[in-house]
Amino acid sequence: MFKNILITLLVLFSLSLQAFTARAAVILQYHHVSEHTPAITSVTPTQFKEQMQYLADNDFIVTPLSQVVDAIRNQKPIAENTVVITFDDGYKSIAETAHPILKEYGFPYTLFVSIEPIKAKYSEMMSWKELIELSKEGAEIANHSWGHEHLIRKLAGESELHWMSRIETNILKTEAEISHATGQNHKMLAYPYGEYNQALEDMLSRNGFVGLGQQSGAAGAYSSLTALPRFPVAGVYADLASLKVKMHSLNMPVLSITPNDPELKGGNWRPELRVTLDMNDIYPHQMMCFIQGQGAQKPLWLSENEFSIRAEFDVPPGRSRYNCTVPSKTKSGYYWFSQAWVRPKDDGSWRKE
């Protein structure tokens, strides 16, 4: 009798664990879909069509971002093979080239837009009229800040308090403008350039927003809602062969990370990252990490479920990442985790872009 009860409990635990770890989606990030824009932020129409065909042929469930956010927030199951399609900036090529392809497949998507370029009527950007038409056809219109600013950068002589007030006003004003124009109010912010820090995350939480970066990985139950990962798709990362692996990636079961602030300060240009994991479905000896610009590095296991990695050389001014992947014991695909970093130059100033 006791043995049967124990077996039942183990089965129930296994099923609950599988349901929990299945709460994940791969969020893809695009900018241009064109042959005439910078390759570093572009996919060609042929590549985009091929990628959408792959999703259709392999039974992926392309889901609106807002639904995935709701599922993560409320701990609801997310179907396996769930993918979300997002575009940053609102370039015309999305309306002219990507939208017809997405409409052909019936795939929903999200556009993150900044207000200033729309008001300035930049020739390569969509107008409000175009955005409203896309929103009527099901596109989600979401927040990318007022002027696509480097949000974490303070103005000369600006205090922490004034910086926070300025950025909070920026985000809320942008959301109000989107709501007024389209009737949509998703409270989803894609950080411009993928740059954020802990103070910015805290501000979003206070205002009921979620935040999306540009660090890679699947988004799910173990993800922070103010630092949801996305896989950038452009340039060398637009090749379908490598993208397939990312489309099948799993949400790394991260229980805690230290430090949790991506903004590096005080000359700490070789940050030590400590990560604690749920190890139920992981082979620790098969984990491999990668320091951007410095190559592969085996993690140092500090205990049965905590590891650390640290750059051998200073990470450069600007943006960089640590990535870690490990195969699942029970499912096809790799668990994937990425920690974003952003640092100023040694004198405290920022690299010009």
Q: pLDDT tens across 12-64, in order? A: 444 444 444 447 999 999 999 999 999 999 999 999 999 999 999 999 999 99
| Token couple for 306 | 């905590």
Cβ burial 293-313 (10 Å sphere, 16+ → b, else e): eeeebebeeeeebbbebebee
Residues 166 and 263 in one domain: no
The domain boundary, picked from 214, 231, 250, lies at 250
Angle, helices 45-57/240-247, rounded to nearest 10 degrees: 40
pTM of the model: 0.93
Within a domain: residue 322? Answer: yes
For 334, the domain range is 256-343
Query: Where does a domain end: 250, 273, 308?
Result: 250
CATH of the domain at 207: 3.20.20.370
Contact 52, 30 (CB under 8 A): no
Same-domain status, 68 and 87: yes
Q: Angle at the Cα of 118 (from 115 to 119), degrees rounded to 5?
A: 85
Tell me: do 246 and 260 sit in the same domain: no
Q: Which two tokens stand for residue 256?
A: 């805690």
The residue-averaged pLDDT of 214-226 equals 97
Q: For the segment 55-107, what is each residue's pLDDT rounded down to a tens digit?
A: 999 999 999 999 999 999 999 999 999 999 999 999 999 999 999 999 999 99
pLDDT band, residue 249 (cuts 50/70/90): very high
What is the structure's pLDDT at 21?
46
* Residue-by-residue DSSP string for 253-299: -EEEEES---B--TT--SPEEEEEE--TTB-GGG-EEEETTTEEE--
Supply the pLDDT for residue 353: 84
Same domain, yes or no: 279 and 232: no
Q: Specify whether 124 is located in the same domain as 245.
A: yes
User: What's the whole-number mean pLDDT along residues 173-194?
Assistant: 98
Q: State the total domains in the chain.
A: 2
End-to-end CA distance of the chain: 69
* Strands 82-88 vs 140-143: parallel, antiparallel or unpaired: unpaired
User: Exposed e or buried b for every residue in 95-104, given b needs 16+ CB within 10 A?
Assistant: bebbbebbee
Kindly indicate the confidence band of residue 237, based on its pLDDT and cuts at 50, 70 and 90: very high
CB 188 within 8 A of CB 203: no
pLDDT exceeds cutoff 60 at 208: yes
Indicate whether 10 pLDDT > 50.
Answer: no
In-domain check, residue 349: no
The answer to whether residues 56 and 154 belong to one domain is yes
Final residue before a domain boundary, out of 199, 221, 250: 250
Q: Place 225 in a pLDDT band, splitting at 50, 70 and 90.
A: very high
- Contact criterion met (CB below 8 Å) for 207 and 186: no
Asked whether residue 98 is domain-assigned, the answer is: yes
Q: Are 199 and 320 part of one and the same domain?
A: no
Average pLDDT, the chain: 93
Instruction: Please provide residue 249's backbone torsions phi and psi, each rounded to the nearest 5 degrees.
Output: -75, 160
- The single-letter code of the amino acid at 353 is E
348 found inside a domain: no
**Same domain? 77 vs 184:** yes
Say how far apart CA 79 and CA 148 lie, in whole Å: 33
Cβ contact 27:66 at 8 Å: no
Helices (H), the chain: 2-21, 45-57, 65-73, 92-93, 99-105, 115-119, 128-136, 160-182, 198-206, 240-247
**Is residue 351 included in any domain, yes or no?**
no
Look at residues 181, 102, 165, 112 and name the one whose alpha carbon lies nearest to residue 138.
Answer: 102
Rounded Cα distance between 201 and 181, Å, is 26
Q: Do 216 and 135 share a structural domain?
A: yes
CATH of the domain at 327: 2.60.40.10
**What is the reported pLDDT for 159?**
97
pLDDT band for 2, please (50, 70, 90 cuts): very low
Clarify whether residues 213 and 294 are in a common domain.
Answer: no
The answer to whether the beta carbons of residues 109 and 233 sit under 8 Å apart is: no
Q: pLDDT tens digits, residue range 270-298?
A: 999 999 999 999 999 999 999 999 999 99
**Region 226-232 average pLDDT:** 98
Q: Are residues 230 and 274 in the same domain?
A: no
Pair 108, 231 in one domain:
yes
Question: What's the mean pLDDT in 140-148?
Answer: 98
Q: How many CB atoms lie within 10 A of CB 168?
A: 15
% of the chain surpassing 90 pLDDT: 92
Query: Considering the domain boundaries, does residue 73 fall inside one?
Result: yes
- Does residue 352 fall inside a structural domain? no
Q: Is residue 350 in a domain?
A: no
